[in-house]
Amino acid sequence: MRREFVTTWIPLVLSIPLALMAFFDIGGIVRDVPGLLFVLFCPGYLLILALFPAYEDLDSIERISFSFGLSIILALLLGLILPFLSWGIGFQPILLAVSYFVMIMTAAAVYRRSRLPYVNRFFIDLDIELPNWGAMSGKQRTISLGLVAATILTISSIAYMAAKPETGEKFTEFYIVSPDGYPNALTVGEIYEVKFGIVNHEYRTVTYNVEVWANGYKKNSAGPFELKQGKQLESPIGFTIYQPFDSIKMQFLLFKDGESEPYHTFDLPVKVQ
């Protein structure tokens, strides 16, 4: 039972605290380093285990290689899919999505293995013996030292990237959405509502405010909204014009961190009748 637990259930056990830290947005090196190792190996490992549950299906080297390769491909696919699910792009939503995937694949792997005789199932060998350094040839020693050095370098690089992630261009997305399209004509006294969207790419937490102006007069405001890096917000804002105009310039202004000058301005010329 111990070998069965290590082979099948350990990734699921690891996913639980990582998923909780991702869900409650608990970051830092405590989450990021094991989270990166988890994302880069566990989903591919369980997928391979579900597809090839028997010993004779694949050897250990093939399983390890395919586990890393498939995990990277799955992470890239999630990076493409998550924006369409309004999860945003970032390590936190990918870690959470991978944790859900691991839960599903654990169930699939357990089911597939249960259909095989116990002796034919793949197991992680717990009887690990330390190599006899004295009995190794010079070539074997060189290869072993190279593997150890590569492993240490890989783990160190992951830890460094997690502690000091590279940042790209810093900016904030600001857009206006209307279910009926942008209005070109309004009715006097009518309450009109549009939805604005904000996406934070500033690599820090930012506080935003939104204001609606018409011909130099503020009609409404919304906020403050505190958004963390990579997070997206969509919220409605309404306004009413009480006088007819042949042409009026509606302005939607986005402010960052209480600044007096708007960071983004969205202009919308309309007619009020």
Predicted confidence (pLDDT) per residue in 190-245, tens digit = 777 788 889 998 888 899 999 988 877 888 888 899 988 888 888 888 888 787 77
CATH number among 3.90.1170.50, 3.30.360.10, 2.60.40.10, 3.30.428.10, domain 171-272: 2.60.40.10
Q: What is the pLDDT of residue 138?
A: 72
Question: Cα separation of 261 and 255, whole Å?
Answer: 7
DSSP bridge pairs for 221: 211
Over the chain, what is the mean pLDDT? 79
User: Which residue blocks in the chain are alpha helix, DSSP H?
Assistant: 2-4, 10-23, 29-51, 60-81, 91-114, 138-163
Q: What is the pLDDT of residue 132?
A: 63
Q: What is the pLDDT of residue 250?
A: 80
Q: What is the pLDDT of residue 70?
A: 87
pLDDT band with cut points at 50, 70 and 90 for residue 89: low
51 with 110: CB under 8 angstroms? Answer: no
**pLDDT tens-place string over residues 25-54:** 776 777 777 888 888 889 999 999 999 999
Determine which helix (DSSP H) or strand (DSSP E) holds 58, and give its type and residue range: none
Residue with the larger pLDDT of the pair 87 and 13 = 13
**pLDDT tens-place string over residues 110-164:** 999 999 998 888 888 655 555 566 666 776 667 667 656 655 665 565 555 555 5
Determine which helix (DSSP H) or strand (DSSP E) holds 251, and give its type and residue range: strand 245-256
- Residue span(s) of the chain under CATH 2.60.40.10 come to 171-272
